[in-house]
């Protein structure tokens, strides 16, 4: 496992950060702003030791794999949000009232 025993916690933190702090208005994770990406990794580095990944001899492979997983999580969460909110087209107040749990109203 890339992160080791704390893998499930890592997934949960990435997903909850996306709901709270990253808008789903981009086509893919690669279109998310550099500031948003850096913000997420700064947040995650409070609990997870990215230095352990960086110092490994196959670090480039780990970072590519991590980025691919984050891309998939972003796509999945964007799809969940889209499916949930499309029934409120034109009714912003109803959409805000029925936003997915944990999603920031601005997003």
State pTM to two decimals: 0.70
Q: So what's the pLDDT on residue 47?
A: 81
Q: What is the pLDDT of residue 46?
A: 87
| pLDDT at residue 54, as a whole number | 77
The parts of the chain modelled with pLDDT lower than 70 are: 1-6, 107
Q: What pLDDT score does 6 carry?
A: 67
Query: What local confidence, expressed as pLDDT, does residue 12 receive?
Result: 84
The whole-number pLDDT of residue 39 equals 93
Residue 13 · residue 46 · CB < 8 Å? no
How confident is the model at residue 34, as a pLDDT? Answer: 92
Q: What is the DSSP string of 24-73?
A: S-SSSGGGS-HHHHHHHHHHHTTTS-HHHHHTSTTHHHHHHHHHHHHHHH
């Amino acid at each position: 496992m890339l992160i080791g025993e704390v893998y499930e916690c890592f997934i949960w933190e990435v997903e909850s950060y996306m709901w709270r702090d990253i808008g789903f208005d981009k086509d893919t994770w690669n279109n998310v702003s550099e500031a948003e990406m850096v913000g997420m990794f700064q947040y995650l580095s409070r609990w997870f030791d990215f230095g352990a990944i960086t110092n490994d001899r196959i670090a480039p492979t780990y970072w590519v794999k991590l980025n691919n997983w984050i891309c998939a999580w972003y796509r999945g969460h964007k799809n969940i949000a889209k499916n949930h909110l499309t029934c409120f087209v034109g009714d912003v107040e109803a959409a805000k009232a029925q936003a997915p749990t944990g999603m920031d109203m601005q997003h």
